[in-house]
Structure 1
Amino acid sequence: MLELHRRYGSAVRIAPNEISFSSAQSWKDIYGTRQGHEPFVKGHFYSGGSFAGIGTTSIISERRPEVHRQMRNYLAGAFSDRSILEQEGIVAASVDAFIHLVGVRGSRKEGFDVSKTLQSLAFDITGDLSFGEPFGALESEKSHPWISVSLNAMTQGEIVDVLNRFPILQKAILIIMNRKLKELTQDTKKNEELSLKAVESRVNRKTERKDFLTRILEDRDPNVVSDQQIAAHASDFVIAGSDTTSTTLASLIFYLLKNPSVMTRLVDEIRSTFQRYEEITYNSTASLQYLRAALLEAMRIYPPVPIGLPRVVPEDGDTVDGVSLPGGVTVSTNPLAACLSQDNFQDPWSFKPERWIGQNEHDDLDCSQPFSLGTRACMGRNLAWLSLRTIAVKLLWVYDLELVNTTMDWHRESQMHTLWRKPDLFVRARNRGADVPC
């Protein structure tokens, strides 16, 4: 996609009825709200995932704007600033467990896979907030079974999307991939069953803890919002929230370790700001300017969601970045093409947090939109920043990190699906003498 945009420009026809864009204006036109314009609804791609196949849509898969608006209204309380502060203790418990594990596993000569461990951490955090208890993923160095199940459930959606693009070949492909598709269908069903069972357990459990479901259960009408629909939402929270957070942090760590001067500046900012581990919180990390810049740069150079999110041009047609389009055309802004284009960023493959500080006349920063835009933008943005800031700061406040495989190439060794399939990222960790509460 990057090469296609480099060759043909910021608007590229990539299928008979589909156009990909790579400009900042296309983000605004496709995903934002424009006065006097009909919204661009989500494409059919969203109909292939968990729960959607059994007739239950979620905050991510629902395509009808009016229904999505209702969902967003009753889910909003779970993601408000007040709720995030109430949930901080739950997040901190998992983060602190992770920090202790880094000291144990990172002291080994071979190091440990920080990418996989971050995925387990984010999975535990979102599971705890979504279902009322952590999955226990951090307890093992192997991937938690539910992580594999949920990712395979997403793979089913990918394959459905591909088959829809090649209708003549569909029958042949369905025969050739029959066994694989059955496995993926089983994983999708298992993900639905696990999610529903966990939600029902949380609904029936009396608790004073403040998690996602606290607000959702308070605000919903049970006759309108079923446990199954809440399970669909919770499944989305776990899959989308955990993978994107862990991806950003893994990318950050890799690029910090490949750029010692950047690492030194960030570590100096963190360690000069905090004298004690307990001081590190959501609010206290908000003022760290270079940290914010480094995280934004990690999300630019390695967008957490790498695919273009498809939308459909309204029936009467519209324009995107000055291009007139008939109704029914599928459009999207490709994050990778937008973020790594030389037309949008100077030296785009270089990790430069300074892009995000002060005046910048060389880069079009609006081309990077990791949380998307408009009414379909990420609801979990505040939670993401809570996790990103506190995990990164606690990790770098306590440990000096070392990359085990210094010749690895993060982008080259990654695989792009709906979300990234990331390479192993082995690091060693040495406590610099910091006191960490038990």
Structure 2
Amino acid sequence: MLALISVIGLVALGLFSLVLQHVYVYLRDAKGLRKFPGMTPLAPFTNIPYLRVTGQGRRFKAVYEAHQRLGPVVRVGPNSVSFSDPVAIKDVYGHGSPVTKDTFYDNVAGSHRHLADVSDKHDHSRKRRVLAAAYSQAGLESWEHIVFSRTRALVDQYDKQCISPEYHPSPHAIQSTSDPNKTKGYINHRQWMNIFAEDAICQIGMSADLHMLEKGTDTVTIETHNGKKITIGYRASLWGGHKIQRNFAWSHDWYKRMAKLTSWHPGWAHNKNYDAMVYYFTRKRLERYNKGEKLDDFFTYLFEDKYGNPNMYPMGELAAEASIMMNAGSDTTAIALTNVLYWLLKNPDALAKLREELDAVLDPDEPVAPFDRVKHLPYLRACLDESMRLTPPNTMNIPRITPPQGLSVMGHWIPGRTTVHCSTYTIHRNPKIFIEPLAYKPERWLGDEGKDLQQHFLTFSAGARGCIGRNITYMEQTIVLASLIFRFNFSLMSDDWVLEQEESFTCSPSDFPIRVRRRDFENLKA
């Protein structure tokens, strides 16, 4: 008993000492951050409030609500400041800004860095030069047929689910699988957007023709490094790993310790499965290259330069680039395509305008919208941008660290080695920039007004580290949305149904059950 009391006493003493340490650091205020209001009363003392809302998947909402209450500058942690004014965008993310990536990336990085998590600016420039040709607008032309093929497979699946107007199955019949006998008349649009985006990026990236859409599932069978065959879910592995990582990734000092303490959690198994899948596909693609196969995919640009000279990347770096491609290249596109259909169904006037624009250029005999006919449609692009404004796949943008000498942000001097960021979700809801910020209004992106707003559009971040894959995702979103809206009628479960959002590293919408019917073009012509 005495031993137990002693242990309890030591723990209590340790906690008390830790509290005193945080209070001392706050009162000393060596960086002069005490002038900024805290997201919560405890936020200036500890990262625990920030970790709590992150673990709940609602960090983006908590930061937005804090700015609504407290103003354009909010302290979200002892050494972390958030800005909601557009002036801060250029200071933090603009070309020439001296900031570097936050130490968060050191926590989640693997043995080799990829384009998204590399901190060294010279290394980032090297990687970006290599990948620029692959992600360029001109480079898309060689991959358009893949997006067309995968969209055709998607449309075929939606066609199978169409019903006659008088048929009314229960919405509870929707399953996580795509058995037509159980889901006739309804689809889980979120699930199908995942499968489409994963299927497309694996073929674009590694010439891996997985036929996920034809199978109606994103489960894949891979071989681990020790020769064992396992079957895993692409999305389940990616999202499961992100959910466990999000709980600790923002705690720079405790991440690795907490990862060890929670090693029993199944989320870490999902993380390992995703890594195993990435290495498997990377290894298979490398084998094809070594055998002399000439393939036109993303990995070709990693293997050799435009003159055919080998880049000599180590296996770890190849796998790292494959990892971010299979992650961001599928997840963000699937999220955007899910959200835009939701907003259109919630705003029938916008849906009618979009359909009118599509009807003028598309032919009922074509199941897939040709890219050259829809890529410059202004209202189609406006619908996509407005959806990504309201529900950006990356809600929080990338955190940055100020240089050792410090940095002026929005006229406030922020000392060196301080985390700074502008929340995309919050900036996109700033009424000084966007009139009626909570309304879905694609018209705001048209004409000169729309051009002026682009500087505040942070969905793809900003500056030299802006998303390099924006051309690919725009092509995918444009072809898929145009094809689905032109060919089908969709309806929500009810008028008041809401698509929920949960944030990890991206902000993921929930399952999205909707009724699907094929449009009656014959009656429309009459």
Q: Would you say same fold, with TM above 0.5?
A: yes
1:421 maps onto 2:480 in alignment: no
What is the alpha-carbon distance in structure 1 between the residues aligned to residue 210 and residue 88 of structure 2?
A: 39
Q: CA deviation at 1:287?
A: 2.3
Cα deviation, 1:104-136, whole Å, max 9, x if unaligned, reads: 124355501011101110111101111211333
Matched residue pairs, number?
424
Q: In 1, are the aligned partners of 2:357 and 2:379 still within 8 Å (CA)?
A: yes
Q: Give 1:71's match in structure 2, choosing from 127, 140, 143.
A: 127
Number of the residue aligned with 2:261: 175
Q: Give the counterpart letter for 1:429 in structure 2.
A: V
Q: Give 2:469's match in structure 1, choosing from 380, 393, 399.
A: 380
Number of the residue aligned with 1:369: 458
1:194 maps onto 2:280 in alignment: yes
Cα deviation, 1:294-349, whole Å, max 9, x if unaligned, reads: 10000001011112311111111111222211110111110111112334322222
What is the alpha-carbon distance in structure 1 between the residues aligned to residue 417 and residue 93 of structure 2?
A: 16
C-alpha spacing 1:13/1:273, structure 2 compared with 1 (3 Å): same
Number of the residue aligned with 2:478: 389
Q: CA deviation at 1:180?
A: 4.1
C-alpha spacing 1:106/1:421, structure 2 compared with 1 (3 Å): farther
TM-score w.r.t. length of structure 2: 0.75
Q: Give the counterpart letter for 2:283 in structure 1.
A: K
C-alpha spacing 1:152/1:222, structure 2 compared with 1 (3 Å): farther
C-alpha spacing 1:103/1:279, structure 2 compared with 1 (3 Å): closer
TM-score w.r.t. length of structure 1: 0.89
Q: CA deviation at 1:247?
A: 1.0
1:88 maps onto 2:144 in alignment: yes
Q: In 1, are the aligned partners of 2:103 and 2:252 still within 8 Å (CA)?
A: no
C-alpha spacing 1:124/1:143, structure 2 compared with 1 (3 Å): closer
Number of the residue aligned with 2:158: 102
1:152 maps onto 2:240 in alignment: yes
Number of the residue aligned with 1:134: 209
Identical residues among aligned pairs (%): 25
Rg larger for: 2
Q: Give 1:123's match in structure 2, choosing from 198, 205, 208.
A: 198
Cα deviation, 1:220-279, whole Å, max 9, x if unaligned, reads: 865641233122112211110211111111111001111111100000000112235278
1:43 maps onto 2:102 in alignment: yes
What is the alpha-carbon distance in structure 1 between the residues aligned to residue 245 and residue 208 of structure 2?
A: 27
Q: Give 2:405's match in structure 1, choosing from 298, 316, 333.
A: 316
SS of residue matched to 1:273: coil
Q: In 1, are the aligned partners of 2:199 and 2:210 still within 8 Å (CA)?
A: yes
1:242 maps onto 2:330 in alignment: yes
What is the alpha-carbon distance in structure 1 between the residues aligned to residue 367 and residue 304 of structure 2?
A: 32
Structure ranking higher on relative contact order (CA contacts 8 Å, 6+ apart)? 1
Cα deviation, 1:130-175, whole Å, max 9, x if unaligned, reads: 121133332344553122222233345423414436x4x9867853
Please say which of residues 198-207 and 373-382 is displaced more in the overlay: 198-207
What is the alpha-carbon distance in structure 2 between the residues aligned to residue 279 and residue 163 of structure 1?
A: 46
Q: Give the counterpart letter for 1:67 in structure 2.
A: D
SS of residue matched to 2:328: helix
What is the alpha-carbon distance in structure 2 between the residues aligned to residue 125 and residue 288 of structure 1?
A: 23
Cα deviation, 1:33-89, whole Å, max 9, x if unaligned, reads: 13xx52x1111212233xx33x21111111100001101111112112221101111
C-alpha spacing 1:267/1:205, structure 2 compared with 1 (3 Å): farther
Q: Give 1:30's match in structure 2, choosing from 92, 100, 109.
A: 92
What is the alpha-carbon distance in structure 2 between the residues aligned to residue 116 and residue 278 of structure 1?
A: 21
SS of residue matched to 1:118: helix
What is the alpha-carbon distance in structure 1 between the residues aligned to residue 381 and residue 268 of structure 2?
A: 43
SS of residue matched to 1:48: helix
SS of residue matched to 1:19: strand
Residue segments in structure 1 that go unaligned for 5+ positions in a row: none
Number of the residue aligned with 1:432: 519
| CA-based RMSD | 2.6
Q: CA deviation at 1:206?
A: 4.4
SS of residue matched to 2:516: strand
